[in-house]
Amino acid sequence: MRLSNFIVQNVDRIVDEWEQFAKTITPAAENMDSVALRDHSKAILLAAARDMSKPQSASEQLAKAKGEGSEKTPSLDEAGASHGELRHTVGFDLVQMTSEFRHLRACVIRLWVNSLDSPDLAYFQDMIRFNEAIDEALAESTAAYAEQVNHSRDIFLAILGHDLRAPLQAVSMSTEILMRKTTLEGDALSCALHIKRGTRHMAAMISDLLELVRSRLGKSLPIEPATMDLADAAHEAIAHACAAHPQCDPTLNVEGDTQGVWDGRRLGQMLQNLIGNALQHGSNNSPVELTLKGEADSVRLTVYNDGAPIPPEAIGTIFDPLVRNADEELGGPTTSLGLGLFIVKEVVDAHQGTIEVNSSETEGTLFSVVLPRKV
């Protein structure tokens, strides 16, 4: 009997074995009934049998083995994805979920081989087709499971970041009140200033974290455009940078009209991150240089720093979240989550602008942002 026919005729027996194996996956399975344990197993098997019954050329088989096949089995993919989502919901870990497919594969082959009277070359082809179908279902289950894990993690980070704001604000306000109402000197004043700077860094990290989570949950960066002057925002950002780095002295050159309709708070965030990045990675002997140039329908911002160039292999991922270069990793603890340039890119995209970076040993590092005057 061909394997696809065997699966259809013996599907209930195979599902019974699936259920018995699923029962052994504890503690998640301890409180699951028969319906939950057998979840989508019958649908996966019957979809696999239907897929095996369809003609398949040698080139199609090769492409499918590489995961490149254009023709998938919708019912198989849907059942596999639903199974992965539900197994995550009830508490299976990824290894436990994938072990179900390993057992299913072994169970079907064992039962089928035991039922055969005489082998036939076509039977080996049947096993290949069955393995392909199970691999497809496993891939969809794993992808859906991983997506649920990522979604749960992002929700957790969003809640954590939001809840951290209240105690952090309490620390910050208490420090401000203490410094206003009490005359602090020497070590006491130094400690209060350290607390103030620390809370500022933590607030920036929490803000960046929430922006990352928002983007991963599929929400674009919200902006509130209003008429403003980018030069004013640049001066303010430089003042913030110098408050955190008293030794720094960025220069600002302004050419032409730098007014537009943008979100001032977001552009301030972008400027502070670009300046902070330039100060962190630039040479101590060369100041950071900002240039604003008003053009016909846009304003161009450039931020330049001298120093070690960005490695060519890092340029392509420099705006990705949670990315740090090798120098930063070797430099020890940092207040950065590796989200600064990611936030910069999000702000630029939200304003329908563009950003580029060029970096070399001889030319230094230059970030160029072009913002349309009106979003």
CATH number at residue 100: 1.10.490.70
Could you tell me the CATH number of the domain that includes residue 241? 3.30.565.10
- Cβ contacts of residue 142 below 8 Å, gap of 6+? 84, 94, 97, 98
**Same-domain status, 255 and 362:** yes
pLDDT confidence of residue 136: 75
Question: Same domain, yes or no, for 125 and 181?
Answer: no
Indicate if the pLDDT at residue 55 is higher than 90. Answer: no
Is-contact 69 101, C-beta < 8 A? no
Assess if residue 41 is contained within a domain: yes
Q: Are strands 226-229 and 298-305 parallel, antiparallel or unpaired?
A: unpaired
Residues 282 and 235 in one domain: yes
Q: Which domain covers residue 320, as residue numbers? A: 226-372
Q: Please tell me the predicted confidence (pLDDT) of residue 15.
A: 92
pLDDT digits (tens, 9 = 90+) for 86-129: 888 888 888 888 888 888 888 888 888 888 877 676 777 787 67
| Residue 14 belongs to some domain of the structure | yes
Residue 221 lies in a domain: no
Amino acid at 367: F
Q: How many domains does the chain have?
A: 3
pLDDT confidence of residue 70 = 53
Q: What is the pLDDT of residue 158?
A: 66
Asked whether residue 330 carries a pLDDT value surpassing 50, the answer given is: no
Mean pLDDT of 188-196: 87
Question: In the predicted model, is pLDDT for residue 333 greater than 80?
Answer: no
Decide if pLDDT at 338 tops 70.
no
pLDDT > 70: percent of the chain: 86
> At a CB cut-off of 8 Å and minimum separation 6, what does 359 contact?
309, 310, 315, 365, 366
Handedness of CA 137, 87, 321, 334 (dihedral sign): negative
Higher pLDDT, 284 or 34: 34
Same-domain status, 359 and 303: yes
Is residue 323, in this structure, part of any structural domain at all? yes
* Whether residue 70 is found in the same domain as residue 138: yes
Same domain, yes or no: 114 and 172: no
Q: What is the pLDDT of residues 198-215, one digit of tens each?
A: 888 788 778 777 777 777
Q: Which residue has the tokens 């991922």?
A: 317
The string of pLDDT tens digits covering residues 59-87 is 766 666 566 655 556 778 888 888 888 88
| Assigned token pair, 97 | 């979920």
Q: 186 and 142 in one domain?
A: no
- Which of the residue ranges 1-10, 183-192, 237-246 would you say has the lowest mean pLDDT? 237-246
**Which residues partner with 364 through β-bridges?**
360
> What DSSP element (H or E) covers 350?
helix 340-350
Residue 178 lies in a domain: yes
- Strand, helix or coil for residue 296: coil
Which amino acid, 81?
A
30 and 85 housed in the same domain? yes
Q: Does residue 329 lie within any of the structural domains?
A: yes
Domain end marker among 110, 136, 153: 153
pLDDT in the model for residue 121? 62
Among the three residues 168, 194, 216, which one is the final residue of a domain in this structure? 216
**Residues sharing a CB contact under 8 Å with residue 338, sequence separation 6 or more, in sequence order:** 321, 322, 323, 324, 328
Name the more confident of 88 and 163: 88
pLDDT for the residue numbered 9: 92
Residue 323: pLDDT band with limits 50, 70, 90: low
The answer to whether residues 194 and 236 belong to one domain is no
Indicate if 256 and 276 belong to the same structural domain: yes
Preceding peptide of 27 cis, ω within 30°: yes
Average pLDDT over residues 288-299: 95
Kindly state whether residue 234 falls inside one of the protein's structural domains: yes
Do 97 and 203 fall into the same domain?
no
Query: Which one of 216, 240, 263 terminates a domain?
Result: 216
**Is the model's pLDDT at 329 over the cut of 60?**
no
On whether residue 84 sits in a domain, the answer given is yes
Q: What whole-number distance in Å separates Cα of residue 110 and Cα of residue 41?
A: 17
- Pair 8, 148 in one domain: yes
